[in-house]
Chain A
Amino acid sequence: MSQFEIVSREDFSEVTYLLEVRHPQMARAARPGQFVIVMLNEHGERIPLTIADFDRHRGTITLVIQAVGKTTKQMQQECRVGTSLFGLVGPMGIPTHIGKPKKVLCVGGGLGVAPVFPQARALKEAGAYVIGILGFRSKDLIFWEDKFRAACDELILCTNDGSAGMKGLITDGIAVALAGHADVDECVAIGPPVMMKACADATRARRIKTMVSVNPIMVDGTGMCGGCRVKVGDDVKFACVDGPDFDGHLVDFDDLMTRLRRFTPEEKRAEQRWSDSCRMPQPPAMRKVGEDGLELPDPSEEALGG
């Protein structure tokens, strides 16, 4: 079965990788801001991933994934060009509203850089002046700088350790952008909840409309379970069908972060169990001699060493 075949893969760093998956129907239907639910195999869980790009001519969608737990690490190990995903459904969620903003900040933190890209591109195509603000921990985690340079009028790159671009947090990048532009009328911020919260706080005083893309725990992604519910103002919303984009000045990020910890012990247990099984000694034929020509350690010795 060659459904949901992976047609290309790119590794941005030790933890971040890109998969381009064949799905012509979805490539046609996808809009910026939407996401998919992926299942690696029949025993797998359903995980939400934002559509980082789509190519209608190639009939593919692109996912950028960070290996943070069992499923994403297993995908990093097993998803190669030519392999297929067991399940892939979407595009889910309400597409981002691309109105007629004049000047926009497109802010991406870490992995959030990927899902902000289709929005930045669509905003640019809609005629907006786009200021991209990308934040990474350090230089070696940077990806898609070139794609953003092509889609943005200005690009501010921040790294926490100053190894590339300006040194500082993404909110420092926002401060720089706002200092240079008094007429920013919209902000799109995607990244970890704590970063989106900080971005919303940074734009609140200037009353700049700030849209964030929330990332709660999801199961079905079609609105049938409410596992992804988030507090937005006085309402409780289901991120999968009412979102995932919401007004960042209204989202209760503390509630979101608490709810993201619902299964932390189980997530650790699943990952531990999986990594233990990966550390099982491999048959000698599978091992390659290192480039430095050193002999490989005795497999039984390695197994003992755990």
Chain B
Amino acid sequence: MPVKRSDKTPMPVHDAQLRAHDFVEVNTGYTPAHAAFEAERCLRCQDAACVDGCPVNIPIPDFIHAVAAGDMPKAAQILRGANPLPSICGRVCPQENQCEAQCHMLKRFNPVAIGHLERFVADWERTQPVTAKPNITRKEKIAVIGAGPSGLVCAGELARLGYSVTVYEALHAPGGVLRYGIPEFRLPKSVLDWEIGVLKAMGVEIVCNVVIGRTIKMDDLFENMGYAAVFIGTGAGLPQFLGIPGENLNGVMSANEFLTRMNLMGGYKFPENDTPMKVGKRVAVIGAGNTAMDAVRSSLRLGAEAAYIVYRRSEKEMGARVEEYHHAIEEGVDFRWLTNPLEVVDDGNGWVSGLKCQKMKLGEPDASGRARPIPIEGSEFVLPVDNVVLAIGTTPNPLLTRTTSGLMTNKKGCLVADESTGLTSKALVFAGGDAVTGAATVILAAGAGKRSAQAIHEALQQAPVAAH
């Protein structure tokens, strides 16, 4: 089918009716013909604004040019030089707010599908043998706390700079939100494992089952274990609850619990895997960010007959990626906009039987700049559901700051860190990603990890011997 040059070349996907009940990746990826065609749409701007829109500043026109020329090794090399996790970012970045939002094509047409092309190149690279090798040329050892996107990118950059790096991860498998949060149908774990394999091939050591602050004290990393600098990428994994009546009932879960059971523990394959995961016939997910979309789409795949998004604002204020939202609609998710949960209703035996809600209308913009939802009196109703999943946001985990002296946090519990370097209130301790910003995106975390790696490099060159 011919595709007009003004449109993005669409991403091939699995049929919505079939995929809504399995965990196979929804997007099937460009064919070489798709990629060549889409790459031709790039205008090769002199002043490529797309690069500024990318938090890790990938030289986008260069790699797209290589794709158009059919030089895949070059395209892959350009991509990997800027972003240690291309096959992940190509899948999960909200490109519509980043690189693609700056594309000059957007002035009149649709932007170039930069994300789809990034994914195409990275997927090609995964069919090739891993060529990365350790390159330890410096004596300093660096510890990275947390194997999520910011920690992995920081470790990868430091390894490239010649440092010996150890990543400490509290869970039994690395990846952070890429492992426990983002489901298989959006990011196959085999893709994540491959990317982590590249980092290991570069000499990055990943030690799981270690909680810094508990198993090893942060100060011990410097004093007894000889690390010259530390990067904190512990994320924002502490789930928020609404504080409404009935929230402790059986059948109410945080999205983090729901997704961790399903993704990290493989609960969608229970009883093949031991961690139980189930949903009832009707599931309400509260919130409208990417986490909410992941939970609601997973509910359908786990066998729910009805899966609702309950959101107190409207479609316009929703935080989820456009692509995930469209996929959710196609799969049959029922969206209840301007609906505010008031109470989880008890079935009399300690289980959920419904969600009492109130209809809302939009008023003037609030502190967040979004229209403020105002309750409509007398509009209360009960949505009959068996499960309620709360996807209303997360905050940084206080475990590390509670067990470490001298680490400053703000009133939201986020680590205070210099914006350009990530330096915290503690000498030679840097931080980035959600631990600093609160819940944000994978690519912003990756960008922060990359910047801190550079800052650590500069700090160590100025003061090669750690004065701790």
Contacts and interface: CB of A to CB of B under 8 A. Distances in A.
Interface stretch (B99-107, B108-116, B253-261): B253-261
A263 B260 CA distance: 16
A299 interface: no
Contact of A92 (B211, B254, B256, B265): B211
Contacts of B398: 223, 241
B289 interface: no
A46 interface: yes
Contacts of A222: 170-171, 211, 237, 397, 399
A227 B398 CA distance: 17
Contacts of B209: 4, 87-89
Interface string A16-42: 000000000110010000000001000
Interface string B206-220: 001111001111000
B248 A89 contact: no
A57 B170 CA distance: 25
Contact of A224 (B239, B253, B270): B239
Contacts of B260: 219-220, 224-225
A259 interface: yes
B271 A226 contact: no
A219 B265 contact: yes
B278 interface: yes
Contacts of B171: 89, 220, 222
A224 to B, nearest CB: 4
Interface stretch (A113-121, A169-177, A264-272): A264-272
A91 interface: yes
A92 B350 contact: no
Given A219-B275, A263-B276, A29 B214 contact: yes
Given A39-B172, A223-B397, A226-B239, A236 B247 contact: yes
Contacts of B253: 225-227
Contacts of A2: none
A26 B214 CA distance: 8
Interface string A233-260: 0001000010000000000000100110
Nearest to A238: B238
Interface string B437-454: 000000000000000000
B399 A241 contact: yes
A224 B238 contact: yes
Contacts, number: 119
B256 A45 contact: no
A88 B250 CA distance: 28
Interface residues of A, number: 41
Contacts of B399: 222-223, 241
A270 B397 contact: no
Contacts of B94: none
Contacts of B211: 89-90, 92, 222
Contacts of A227: 253-254, 257
B270 A270 contact: yes
A229 B250 contact: no
B377 interface: no
A259 B248 CA distance: 8
Contacts of A236: 241, 247-248
A219 B261 contact: yes
Contacts of A225: 239, 253-254, 256-257, 260
Interface string B264-279: 1110001111111010
Contacts of B250: 258-259, 261-262
Interface residues of B, number: 41
Interface string B181-221: 00000000000000000000000000011110011110000
A5 to B, nearest CB: 14
A44 interface: yes
A226 to B, nearest CB: 5
B256 A224 contact: yes
A9 interface: no
Q: Which of A25, A222, A225, A262 has the most CB of B within 10 A?
A: A225
Q: Which of B215, B250, B264 has the most CB of A within 10 A?
A: B215
Contacts of B271: 266, 269-270, 273
Contacts of A262: 250
A30 to B, nearest CB: 9
Contacts of A267: 276
A73 to B, nearest CB: 12
Nearest to B169: A89
Contacts of B215: 25-26, 29, 89-91
A29 B275 contact: no
Sorted nearest first, the 8 A-B pairs with minimum C-beta distance are: A266-B276, A225-B257, A224-B237, A258-B350, A45-B274, A87-B172, A89-B209, A45-B275
Given A224-B239, A241-B399, 13 more contacts: A39-B172, A43-B266, A44-B274, A46-B275, A220-B180, A224-B260, A225-B253, A226-B254, A226-B257, A236-B247, A258-B350, A259-B250, A273-B271
8 contacts: A43-B272, A44-B273, A87-B208, A89-B170, A224-B394, A227-B253, A236-B241, A270-B271
